[in-house]
């Protein structure tokens, strides 16, 4: 069924009815429906179920099976409804799901209130109600069975008793009646009932042209379904694009966003889009990337930017792929024969490619010198650089890291574990290692599951400790003075579950528990699973990370937060890139190559129209200008000025990329965002006051400008126009336009001393926005 | 909708009836003008040398500096702090701090933010929070670090806009604040011409592309120019305007002139100034190193308190004396003391903190708290309480709600 896939057609053109499988049980049970199509009429083929067309609700009447038919013009769509037990009886709300639903929709168990890890004023609930038993115990202390109306459970939210959360319900509300009725029936947990095993929200994706009703259906362990449309907390990620009012999504400004439904430990997501008006010009196709990004742009009515010029491209691709601007001769060679694919190929073959991307991987792998680990840090840096230069398969690199053991001076990859060491106890801290591994290699943020079940994904504390168990036997020995460490595996040792205190068996995410005593290094099992081509996360997480480096925006954003409740903006693109990466044998260069050669990467940074900037960013409809990172900026300043920077403990001429960082990072690099690297944290792309002041008045640029034998030394006798042109070619990989040539020449002519004037020109060039940015 | 609003108002008014709601703090006007000076003993000073000497312990624990009586009966400080001891009526000491972070960077980040460092999120330090919540005043940077940037005192998830402004060393000859004045060799006239050319080049570039980044850069350029041109900032940073008598009173040392500069900045509108006093990481020859450092501190700290008091600023300025952690109670085989987070001392003054008060007690060797243990989260809550910052406010980071301080309890005994 192609309808509903917003890539291929607009959902509104063809009829759909959701949910397609409904199992109603209990008197009066009903389910919200969502129907798309124009002028639809929905009917039931049997008297067992009735459809209220006005409210789009189907209600069970008698046992049996009915088919619902939505007729929309010439199109029809069908859904199946099974009606089970209809025995009348008094409705009995149960703790789960009824009471927990009230606590969820009223926000009681949200992270800002009683769902926070510490609870609120002694009343602590599990986040969005994942832990039924614990919640029942908590709630039980707040009931008065003799006089149910006097229960704190009612007096607090109605504000009869002072309540920090204010007044949340009135005594004549349906929620109040649910709670009261449950209290009157003994406030029992009533175990043994059907459990919620899955929750779905419809439509899964929608292009909004008007208000869009939502239906949420819970699938229970006894095979029945439950209408949860009004029992979940619905939120929107971007209020400007879509708002929620009483289970209806209302469109706002053009854009794309995600609607989340949360309740009873489950979460469901829906992507919505609002197209920009007008017809969009198509994106020319260089490779599969463009087919997939272009389709989305079309769908959203966004015209892609034009192809960037050769001069802009050569500077951009040098900076993005090897971390420095082209030399004038390199620019001239390319412009004489502007073969972009050949240029990309030659850049990827250079050692500078490896040096530049090594710095990124060092950030990601948290390669730092803290706690006297300078030497191990250096060997790890070299190992990453060599691996990238040889384009070793990335899955192999990751397996080597995850299974590394031995002397930190001899086995470089062991440096990966250094940030997970407790200095005081001289101990490997498995709880610090696990979330790093999942986030880096799976794009899964598991930190929260250390203490509670993941509120936005179906990961639990058991998953966290199941993964920890793979590292349960890792140990570290410190040499004298802490510098040298030995990582090894013990023959025994287990991780204890914080709640049950029992040893936890190794368990892969979403997999079954493994035996405690296999013959091999448990970490190998984990490493093989992570890097297996069938693993749904590894390749996607990796390609999204690299994609983010080029586009500043991931296909999933944040780029290391892949989960069902945070869907990709372009799932087809993410899948296709991941498949390409796997097929290439996990070669990073293959990934760089296909991205750099795409039309999408080669688009100009100038917007093609008046579309919302945010939408252009999410669709990759133009290149996003970005600040040069600390190392790239410093190397570029040195290269263009012809004046090398001096780093402590390094020979003159060492490039910032190649600096090992023993103890004291260079102050320029720190000012411009060199990170501490002991936590997982991206470098900030925003400017700061210190940076601006340092550019304006700082000694770094001034020293380069003044250095006697810098590039200006050979320009002193050049005519003004030629000097200005030479500088533009050197700094910006382009010739100045007429206005720029004029103002440069005017500046030189006004200056009294020739050298001073040239210095001023060079200074303005190095401080200029064009120099600070890649665009 | 209408009734909700009324209900909300009712909550607000009820709150004054006895419930402690954070909005109460915000309602108190004086607290919103409070500022803070942090003297940071870089590397971690020994609790035995500073505020918690153990004169009766064996020599390899107590060391050789002895102790000195303070103005409070029965309370002694380390023998190298005679002036500090005399000023004890102006500040309070917590002797029962404890933590478990023993790596400098993590420990510093912990105590600068009052929140345990996480694997995935950098919590903002106190100065960044003040910058975010109070903004700048009189054109001065809200958050200042003297003399050098330290990666542990940063804005974290509040974003680089709230990172500290770094001054350079105010004790240096001919001190001028880092990057605030033209580099040597460039005249004002040349600089004008350069900037004009730069403005023209940037105007050309604005035709080439567009991005929110460009306007951000413009905004910071404007801020930078404002700061460079601001008479109040220039005046505040000009430590040479201070009479020699005052400069001498603080001591012509890094920490002395740092504290003086901090006072000038606070007086003019800066919200938080951190003064790093370095070199306490004495893994070997501890006493030799400390003997050089402590007298400088012992001059600067009481002088700062005295000066703030005379100017009527102590009531609105919280002064914190903290470090990475404490040091091992026992001297090691190199005569050094190693990292020790399990028990250490801090001092607090001003902003409503009572003087002459000791909170908590450590064991006989000054190793671990035995009474009234105080966590770094508690210290953080206390700092924010004194500064009138609501720690219950939710920020968003990594797509989740987060708070600047978690589960800390204000050390109430510190306040009158």
Q: Which residues pair with B38 in a beta bridge?
A: B274, B320
Which tokens hold the place of A329? 């001769």
Tell me the mean pLDDT in the region B64-71.
96
Residue A654 CB: number of other CB atoms within 10 A? 17
Percent of chain A residues topping a pLDDT of 70: 95
A494: exposed, middle or buried (Cβ count in 10 Å: 0-12, 13-18, 19+)? middle
Q: In degrees to the nearest 10, what's the CA dihedral of A272, A273, A274, A277?
A: -160
| Residue in this structure with the two tokens 């049997």, named with its chain if needed | A46
Contact call for residues A113 and A127 (beta carbons, < 8 A) = no
Determine whether the interchain pair B399/A558 forms a contact, defined as Cβ–Cβ distance below 8 Å: yes
The values of phi and psi at residue B224, to 5°, are -60, -45
What pLDDT does B117 receive? 86
Q: Which residues pair with A69 in a beta bridge?
A: A43, A78
Contact call for residues A774 and B208 (beta carbons, < 8 A) = no
Residue B27 has pLDDT above 60, yes or no: no
Determine whether the interchain pair B190/A744 forms a contact, defined as Cβ–Cβ distance below 8 Å: no
Q: How far is A759 from chain B (nearest CA, A)?
A: 9
Determine whether the interchain pair A702/B198 forms a contact, defined as Cβ–Cβ distance below 8 Å: no
Determine whether the interchain pair A435/B179 forms a contact, defined as Cβ–Cβ distance below 8 Å: no
Which ranges in B271-317 belong to alpha helices (H)?
286-310
In this prediction the pTM is 0.86
Which tokens hold the place of A240? 């400007």
CA B157/CA A505 separation, integer angstroms: 36
Strands B91-98, B374-375: parallel, antiparallel or unpaired by DSSP?
Answer: parallel
Which tokens hold the place of A303? 């015209």
CA A619/CA A299 separation, integer angstroms: 10
Residue B5 has pLDDT above 50, yes or no: no
Residue pLDDT, tens place only, B264-281: 999 999 999 999 998 899
Nearest to B41 by CA among B343, B383, B323: B323
Q: At what angle do helices B286-310 and B254-268 cross, to 10 degrees?
A: 30
Nearest to A8 by CA among A166, A207, A143: A207
Residue pLDDT, tens place only, B372-402: 999 999 999 999 999 999 998 889 887 677 8
The percent helix, strand, coil of chain A (3-state, each to 5) is 40, 15, 45
CA A170/CA A639 separation, integer angstroms: 70
Reduce the secondary structure of B198-222 to three states and give it as a string: HHHHHHHHHCCCCCHHHHHHHHHHH
Residue B24 at interface with chain A, using a CB cutoff of 8 Å: no
Going by the DSSP 8-state scheme, the letter that residue B35 receives in this structure is E
Determine whether the interchain pair B100/A424 forms a contact, defined as Cβ–Cβ distance below 8 Å: yes
Element (DSSP H or E) covering residue A31: strand A30-32
CA A518/CA A6 separation, integer angstroms: 47
Measure the N-to-C terminal CA separation of chain B; round to a whole number of Å: 43
What's the distance, CA B364 to chain centroid?
Answer: 30
CA A296/CA A450 separation, integer angstroms: 38
Q: How far is A77 from chain B (nearest CA, A)?
A: 38
CA B147/CA B174 separation, integer angstroms: 14
Determine whether the interchain pair B228/A696 forms a contact, defined as Cβ–Cβ distance below 8 Å: yes
CA A408/CA B151 separation, integer angstroms: 26
CA A525/CA A532 separation, integer angstroms: 10
Q: Which residues pair with B320 in a beta bridge?
A: B38, B348
CA A203/CA A215 separation, integer angstroms: 7
Residue A624 at interface with chain B, using a CB cutoff of 8 Å: yes
CA A559/CA A543 separation, integer angstroms: 10
Which tokens hold the place of B410? 């204000």
Strands A75-83, A21-24: parallel, antiparallel or unpaired by DSSP?
Answer: parallel
CA A721/CA A749 separation, integer angstroms: 10
Contact call for residues B146 and B258 (beta carbons, < 8 A) = yes
Determine whether the interchain pair A679/B120 forms a contact, defined as Cβ–Cβ distance below 8 Å: yes
Residue A221 at interface with chain B, using a CB cutoff of 8 Å: no
What's the distance, CA A18 to chain centroid?
Answer: 29
Nearest to A240 by CA among A212, A268, A274: A274
The values of phi and psi at residue B402, to 5°, are -135, 160
Cα angle B278-B280-B286, degrees, rounded to a multiple of 5: 145
Which tokens hold the place of A710? 């810098």
What pLDDT does B15 receive? 35
CA B85/CA B107 separation, integer angstroms: 27
Residue pLDDT, tens place only, B144-165: 999 987 777 888 899 888 989 9
In B, minimum Cα distance to A167 occurs at B7
Residues with Cβ within 8 Å of B156's Cβ and at least 6 positions away in sequence, in order, are B113, B121, B122, B123, B124, B125, B128
Give the sign of the dihedral formed by CA B393, CA B397, CA B401, CA B405.
negative
Distances (CA, A) of B195 to A379, A697, B190: 44, 11, 9
Residue pLDDT, tens place only, A585-615: 999 999 999 999 999 999 999 998 867 888 9
| Residue in this structure with the two tokens 């309480």, named with its chain if needed | B385
CA A149/CA A160 separation, integer angstroms: 11
Residue pLDDT, tens place only, B273-324: 999 998 899 999 999 999 999 999 999 999 999 999 999 999 999 999 999 9
In B, minimum Cα distance to A560 occurs at B398
Percent of chain B residues topping a pLDDT of 70: 93
Residues with Cβ within 8 Å of B408's Cβ and at least 6 positions away in sequence, in order, are B114, B375, B377, B378, B379, B380, B381, B382, B391
Residue B413 at interface with chain A, using a CB cutoff of 8 Å: no
Q: How far is A689 from chain B (nearest CA, A)?
A: 6
Residue A118 CB: number of other CB atoms within 10 A? 10
Element (DSSP H or E) covering residue B237: helix B231-237
pLDDT < 50: residue spans in chain A: 1-12
Which tokens hold the place of B100? 């478990």
Strands A40-44, A21-24: parallel, antiparallel or unpaired by DSSP?
Answer: unpaired
pLDDT band at B29 (very low <50, low <70, confident <90, very high): very low
Of residues A352 and B182, the one with the higher pLDDT is A352
Contact call for residues A471 and A587 (beta carbons, < 8 A) = no
Residue A87 CB: number of other CB atoms within 10 A? 8
Q: How many CB pairs under 8 A join A and B?
A: 201
Element (DSSP H or E) covering residue A40: strand A40-44
Nearest to A203 by CA among A67, A70, A8, A12: A12
Residue B210 at interface with chain A, using a CB cutoff of 8 Å: yes
Going by the DSSP 8-state scheme, the letter that residue A511 receives in this structure is S
A568: exposed, middle or buried (Cβ count in 10 Å: 0-12, 13-18, 19+)? middle
Give the sign of the dihedral formed by CA A240, CA A243, CA A249, CA A250.
negative
Which tokens hold the place of A264? 């009873």
């Amino acid at each position: 069924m192609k309808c509903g896939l917003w890539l291929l057609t607009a959902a509104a053109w063809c009829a759909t009815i959701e949910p397609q499988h409904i199992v109603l049980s209990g008197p009066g049970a009903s389910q919200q429906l969502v129907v798309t199509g124009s002028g639809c009429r929905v009917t039931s083929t049997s008297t067992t179920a009735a459809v209220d067309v006005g409210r789009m609700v189907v209600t069970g009447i008698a046992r049996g099976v009915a088919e619902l038919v939505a007729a929309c013009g010439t199109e029809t769509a069908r859904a199946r409804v099974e009606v089970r037990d209809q025995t009348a009886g008094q409705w009995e709300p149960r703790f789960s799901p009824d009471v927990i639903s009230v606590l969820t929709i009223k926000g009681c168990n949200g992270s800002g209130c009683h769902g926070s890890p510490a609870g609120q004023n002694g009343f602590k609930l599990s986040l969005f109600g994942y832990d039924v038993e614990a919640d029942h115990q908590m709630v039980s202390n707040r009931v008065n069975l003799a006089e149910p109306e006097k229960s704190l459970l009612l007096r607090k939210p109605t504000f009869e008793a002072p309540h920090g959360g204010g007044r949340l319900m009135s005594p004549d509300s349906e929620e109040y009646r649910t709670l009261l009725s449950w209290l009157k029936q003994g406030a029992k947990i009533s175990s043994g009932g059907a459990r919620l095993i899955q929750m779905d929200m419809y439509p899964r994706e929608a292009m909004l042209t008007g208000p869009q009703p939502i239906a949420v259906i819970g699938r229970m362990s006894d095979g029945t379904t439950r209408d949860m449309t009004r029992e979940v907390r619905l939120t929107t990620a971007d209020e400007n694009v879509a708002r929620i009012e009483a289970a209806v999504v209302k469109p706002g400004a053009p854009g794309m966003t995600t609607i989340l439904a949360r309740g009873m430990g489950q979460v469901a997501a829906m992507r919505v889009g609002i197209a920009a008006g007008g017809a969009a010009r198509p994106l020319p196709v260089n490779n599969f990337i463009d087919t997939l990004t272009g389709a989305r742009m079309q769908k959203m009515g966004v015209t892609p930017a034009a192809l960037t010029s050769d001069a802009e491209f050569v500077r951009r691709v040098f900076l993005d792929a090897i971390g420095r601007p082209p030399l004038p001769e390199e620019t001239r060679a390319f412009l004489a024969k502007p073969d972009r694919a050949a240029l990309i190929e030659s850049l990827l073959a250079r050692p500078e490619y490896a040096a530049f991307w090594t710095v990124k991987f060092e950030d990601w792998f948290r390669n730092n010198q803290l706690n006297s680990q300078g030497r191990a840090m250096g060997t790890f840096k070299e190992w990453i650089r060599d691996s990238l230069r040889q384009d070793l398969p990335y899955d192999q690199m990751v397996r080597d890291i995850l299974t590394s053991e031995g002397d930190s001076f001899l086995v470089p990859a062991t440096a990966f574990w250094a940030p997970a060491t407790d200095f005081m106890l001289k101990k490997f801290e498995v709880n610090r290692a696990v979330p790093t591994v999942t986030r880096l290699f799976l794009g899964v943020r598991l930190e929260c599951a250390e203490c509670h079940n993941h509120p936005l994904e179906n990961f639990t504390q058991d998953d966290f400790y199941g993964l920890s168990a793979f590292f349960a036997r890792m140990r570290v020995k410190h040499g004298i003075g802490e510098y040298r460490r030995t990582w090894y595996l013990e023959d025994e040792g287990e991780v204890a579950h914080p709640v049950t205190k029992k040893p936890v068996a190794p368990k892969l995410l979403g997999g079954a528990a493994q035996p405690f005593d296999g013959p091999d290094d448990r970490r190998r099992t984990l490493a093989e699973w992570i890097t297996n081509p069938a693993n749904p996360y590894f390749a996607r997480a990796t390609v999204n990370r690299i994609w983010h480096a080029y586009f500043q925006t991931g296909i999933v954003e944040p780029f290391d937060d892949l989960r069902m409740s945070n869907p990709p903006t372009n799932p087809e693109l993410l899948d296709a890139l991941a498949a390409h990466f796997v097929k290439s044998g996990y070669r990073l260069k293959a990934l760089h190559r296909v991205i750099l050669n795409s039309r999408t990467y080669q688009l100009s940074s100038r917007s093609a129209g008046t579309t919302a900037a945010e939408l252009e960013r999410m669709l990759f409809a133009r290149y996003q200008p970005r600040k040069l990172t600390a190392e790239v900026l410093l190397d570029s300043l040195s290269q263009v000025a012809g004046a090398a920077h001096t780093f402590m403990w390094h020979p003159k001429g060492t490039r910032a990329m190649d600096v090992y960082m023993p103890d004291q990072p260079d102050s320029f690099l720190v000012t411009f965002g060199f990170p501490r690297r002991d936590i997982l944290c991206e470098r900030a792309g925003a400017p700061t006051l210190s940076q601006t002041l340092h550019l304006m008045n700082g000694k770094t640029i001034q020293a380069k400008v003044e250095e006697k034998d810098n590039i200006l030394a050979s320009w002193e006798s050049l005519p003004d126009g030629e000097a200005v042109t030479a500088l533009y070619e050197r700094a910006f990989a382009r010739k100045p336009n007429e206005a720029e040539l004029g103002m440069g020449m005017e500046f030189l002519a006004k200056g009294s001393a020739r050298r001073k004037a040239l210095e001023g020109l060079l200074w303005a060039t190095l401080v200029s926005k064009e120099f600070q940015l890649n665009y | 909708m209408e009734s909700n609003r009324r209900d909300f108002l009712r909550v607000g008014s009820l709150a004054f009836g006895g419930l402690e709601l954070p909005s109460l703090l915000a309602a108190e006007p004086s607290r919103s003008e409070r500022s803070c000076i942090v003297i940071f003993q870089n590397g971690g000073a020994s609790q035995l040398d500073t505020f918690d000497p153990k004169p009766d312990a064996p020599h390899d624990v107590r060391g050789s500096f002895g102790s000195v009586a303070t103005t409070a009966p029965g309370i002694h400080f380390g023998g190298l702090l005679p002036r500090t001891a005399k000023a004890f009526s102006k500040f309070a000491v917590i002797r029962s701090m404890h933590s478990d972070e023993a790596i400098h960077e993590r420990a510093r980040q912990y105590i600068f933010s009052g929140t345990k460092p996480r694997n995935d999120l950098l919590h903002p330090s106190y100065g960044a929070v003040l910058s975010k919540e109070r903004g700048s005043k009189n054109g001065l940077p809200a958050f200042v670090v003297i003399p050098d940037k330290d990666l542990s005192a940063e804005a974290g998830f509040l974003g680089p806009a709230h990172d500290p402004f770094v001054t350079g060393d105010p004790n240096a000859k001919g001190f001028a604040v880092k990057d605030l004045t033209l580099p040597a060799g460039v005249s004002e006239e040349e600089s004008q011409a350069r900037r004009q050319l730069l403005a023209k080049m940037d105007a050309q570039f604005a035709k080439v592309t567009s991005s929110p980044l460009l306007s951000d850069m413009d905004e910071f350029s404007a801020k930078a120019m404002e700061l460079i041109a601001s008479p109040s900032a220039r005046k505040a940073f000009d430590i040479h305007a201070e009479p020699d008598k005052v400069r001498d009173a603080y001591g012509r040392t890094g920490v002395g002139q740092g504290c003086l500069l901090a006072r000038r900045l606070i007086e003019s509108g800066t919200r938080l100034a951190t003064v790093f006093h370095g070199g306490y990481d004495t893994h070997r020859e501890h006493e030799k190193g400390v003997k050089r450092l402590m007298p400088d501190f012992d001059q600067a700290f009481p002088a700062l308190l005295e000066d703030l008091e005379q100017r009527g600023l102590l009531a609105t300025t919280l002064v914190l004396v903290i470090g990475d952690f404490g040091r091992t109670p026992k001297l090691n085989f190199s005569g050094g003391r190693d990292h020790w987070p399990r028990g250490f001392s801090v001092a607090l003054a001003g902003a409503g903190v009572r003087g002459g008060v000791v909170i908590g007690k450590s064991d006989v060797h000054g190793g671990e708290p035995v009474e009234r243990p105080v966590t770094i989260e508690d210290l953080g809550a206390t700092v924010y309480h004194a500064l009138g910052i609501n720690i219950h406010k939710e920020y968003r980071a990594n797509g989740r709600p987060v708070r600047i301080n978690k589960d800390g309890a204000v050390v109430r005994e510190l306040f009158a």
